[in-house]
Amino acid sequence: MTQPPAVVLCLVWECTPDELPSTPGRRLQAAQVHSSSGPESATAKNRNSETPNRLTDDWAMVPRAQLSHVNSSFSIIKNTVNLSLAVVLLGYLVKSGYKLDLCLHALRVYSFVVVVVDVGWRVISGVASHDTLICSGSKGRTKKSSKVAEISLVFLWSIGSILLTHIITVLFGAYIVENFEETFTFSLLVASLAFIRPLITLGPSALLILLERLTWEEECEGRCVCVLAGAWLGAAPIPLDWDTPWQVWPLTCSIGAVLSEIGASVFFLVREVNLRTHSRSKLK
């Protein structure tokens, strides 16, 4: 990325942005002050020693001015990828004839891919927003150690969310020992779509953040509610005597969750495109 003109001039002339020399006389004066001795020279040196921090601030402000546009682009791409993955999964389930072993394997692979996509999005958005801005010395080591601790907590909470989903599913009527693979696959799917995503996006304090916001307009909350509602409503066809191959546990509930994921992806994709179109028309 090209540095802003003010930052480039500060680097060349070793002065603060407010003291940029604009004429040859001012440039000569700046050079004399820099080379002179005495109290004025000490003051100039102090200003020069503070320049890197101000340059870092100026440099950090540049990408943040464009951060909204970048986040909008990434959100559109992410929702498109999520929509494509869910459609491909449903197509595979139909093509396999709803054979239980193939369907369970596909659901587990899909759950893993969803988590990988969200981790990739988190890394890309972190780089785009310059979360890992220049760090040195003890501050850099402290930041690295805090990041490692945060990642470890997210991993542990993710495992806990899968186990908690499994327990709640059993409490809702699934067998504890029988159909263990089916129940665990369903728990992995629901946890990946509804619970692990907020942890990846918001960090270990995701639950507290969600409770503080208490809004369903954000993507994390919206997807979570849609997936849980779809998985719950998906249990409705199980007791019906339609005698269809997909009418077995946990296919109906899993298909309901994936259909809700498709609906949420379409909603947030259309909303993001409309917001971007509206912002462009305002700029014109």
Range list of H helices, the chain: 5-13, 24-35, 39-65, 67-95, 100-128, 137-171, 180-190, 197-202, 206-213, 219-233, 251-283
Both 189 and 73 in one domain: the answer is yes
What is the C-alpha radius of gyration for the chain, rounded to an integer number of angstroms?
Answer: 27
| 100 and 239 part of one domain | yes
Q: Roughly what angle, to the nearest 10 degrees, separates helices 100-128 and 180-190? A: 20
Residue 9 shares a structural domain with residue 114: no
Domain that holds residue 169: 67-283
Query: Is residue 168 located within the same domain as residue 194?
Result: yes
Average model confidence (pLDDT) across the chain: 76
Same domain, 81 and 181: yes
Count the alpha carbons within 13 Å of 259 in the hemisphere toward its beta carbon. 13
Tell me how many domains the chain contains: 2
What's the pLDDT score for residue 221?
86
Neighbours of 223 (CB within 10 A): 23
**Torsions phi, psi for 174 (to 5 deg):** -75, 155
Check whether residue 36 and residue 83 sit in a common domain: no
Query: pTM of the predicted model, to two decimals?
Result: 0.71
Smallest CA-to-CA distance from 265 within 140, 90, 98 is with 90
Mark whether 131 and 252 lie in a shared domain: yes
Per-residue pLDDT tens for 169-210? 999 888 888 889 999 999 999 999 999 999 998 888 888 888
Q: Which pLDDT belongs to residue 143?
A: 64
> 90 and 15, same structural domain?
no
List, as one string, the DSSP characters of 166-208. Answer: HHHHHHTT--SSTTHHHHHHHHHHHIIIIIIHHHHHH-TTHHH
pLDDT tens, N- to C-terminus, the chain (284 residues): 444 444 333 433 334 444 444 444 444 444 444 444 444 444 444 444 444 444 444 434 444 545 566 677 888 898 999 999 999 999 999 999 999 999 999 999 999 999 999 998 888 876 655 554 334 444 555 666 788 888 899 999 999 999 999 999 999 888 888 889 999 999 999 999 999 999 998 888 888 888 887 776 788 888 999 999 999 999 998 888 778 888 889 999 999 999 999 999 999 999 988 888 877 776 66
Helix (H) or strand (E) holding 98: none
User: What is the Cα–Cα distance from 193 to 262, expressed in whole angstroms?
Assistant: 11
> Is the domain of 167 the same as that of 272?
yes
Question: Do 44 and 153 share a domain, yes or no?
Answer: no
| Number of residues written out for the chain | 284
Tokens 């890309």 sit on residue: 124
CA gap 221, 275 in Å, rounded = 19
Q: Judge if 30 and 119 occupy the same domain.
A: no
CA pair distance 80, 6, nearest whole angstrom = 38
51 and 133 within one domain? no
Among 38, 61, 84, which residue terminates a domain?
Answer: 61
